[in-house]
């Protein structure tokens, strides 16, 4: 009796093995409330899985962050048995994704972002991930780096590099609950206005940094600040922003109707809601203004900003 059962079981296993080696196709499959369309499964040392559409029901229960660790462990164990996974369309709530796992790299794409990571692991309460790419479609920004997330304390640290137009920057962003803190520095670049527009700074700061002040090249030595994570956006906190930049071949239009002041280079410091300008070889028209400096005070004050000029010249200046 037992011998017959074992024989039948062996035949079933062998038949299943043959089917898997040749590949199995299923047009429609429903497991509980999970729906799969266009399923293809094949065994080639490891499994190859493809599906045209995967629909995952929304979980009405609030997700427990402490379960992330065990969930990631199960996820990695499952991936160990797969050589290739391709899910052309994954529907979850109102979001749509495409997912690909191949050559030990995990890709996820939707209308807002692209993510690629080749290493996601857990160490105690921390999740560690090497992010090969985070592409933010709306901003055309590419990020890469290392992410560490403590899911019990809801604390994260992400450090790496960013690319936007001709800008290459190094950054570090830390998260604690709903608070964000960031530090950025960059190489020399020219696309300054486009960068400032991405930050959606207060109008007066944006006006001075893009319309009144222009340069051929910009280098961001440092930019630090804080932000709040809101329901559908991230809100910068303007009075926390501290920055320093060096500009080359500078033109400053302090007031409409006046000619621009020019300089070979200039250091700008943004601190305490004020902008400070330190000029190198400045001139107005053909007259040297060596040793001159300027500052713009109370940028966040609803009242008109205060422009403070310390102009030094040897001959009469015609305005």
Residue-wise pLDDT tens digits, 11-67: 555 555 566 677 788 888 887 778 889 888 888 888 888 999 988 887 756 566 667
d(CA 232, CA 186): 28
Query: Distance between CA 101 and CA 91 in Å, rounded?
Result: 17
Residue 266, both tokens: 């200039």
Cβ-in-10-Å burial (0-12, 13-18, 19+) of 278 comes to middle
For the stretch 261-290, pLDDT in tens is 888 998 989 888 888 888 888 888 778 888
Measured from the Cβ of residue 61, the count of other Cβ atoms closer than 10 Å reads: 6
Model pTM?
0.78
Residue 206, C-beta contacts closer than 8 angstroms, at least 6 positions apart: 196, 197
1 pLDDT above the threshold of 50: no
> How far, in Å, CA of 11 to CA of 284, rounded?
93
Structure tokens, 91 = 């529907």
């Amino acid at each position: 009796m037992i011998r017959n059962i074992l024989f039948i079981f062996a035949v079933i296993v062998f038949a299943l093995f043959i089917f898997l080696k040749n590949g199995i196709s299923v047009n429609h499959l429903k497991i509980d409330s999970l729906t799969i369309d266009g399923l293809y499964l094949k065994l080639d040392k490891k499994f190859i899985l493809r599906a045209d559409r995967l629909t995952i029901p929304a979980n009405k229960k609030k997700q427990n962050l402490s379960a992330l660790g065990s969930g990631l462990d199960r996820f990695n164990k499952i991936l160990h048995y797969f050589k290739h996974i391709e899910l052309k369309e994954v529907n979850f709530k109102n979001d749509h994704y495409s997912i690909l796992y191949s050559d030990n790299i995990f890709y996820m794409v939707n209308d807002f972002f692209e993510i690629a990571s080749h290493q996601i692991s857990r160490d105690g309460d921390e999740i560690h991930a090497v992010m090969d790419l985070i592409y933010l479609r709306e901003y055309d920004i590419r990020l890469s780096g290392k992410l560490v997330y403590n899911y019990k304390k809801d604390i994260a640290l992400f450090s790496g590099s960013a690319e936007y137009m001709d800008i290459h920057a190094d950054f570090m962003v830390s998260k604690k609950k709903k608070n964000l803190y960031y530090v950025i520095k960059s190489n020399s670049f020219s696309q300054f206005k486009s960068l400032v527009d991405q930050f959606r700074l207060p109008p007066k700061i944006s006006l001075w940094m893009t319309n009144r002040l222009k340069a051929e090249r910009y280098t961001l030595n440092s930019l630090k600040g804080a932000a709040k994570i809101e329901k559908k956006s991230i809100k910068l906190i303007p009075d926390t922003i501290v920055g320093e930049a060096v500009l080359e071949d500078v033109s400053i239009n302090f007031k409409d109707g006046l000619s621009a002041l020019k300089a070979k280079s200039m250091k700008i410091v943004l601190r305490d809601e004020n902008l400070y300008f330190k000029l190198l070889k400045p001139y107005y028209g053909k007259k040297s203004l060596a040793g001159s400096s300027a500052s713009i005070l109370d940028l966040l004050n609803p009242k008109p900003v205060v422009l403070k000029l310390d102009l030094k010249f040897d001959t009469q200046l015609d305005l």
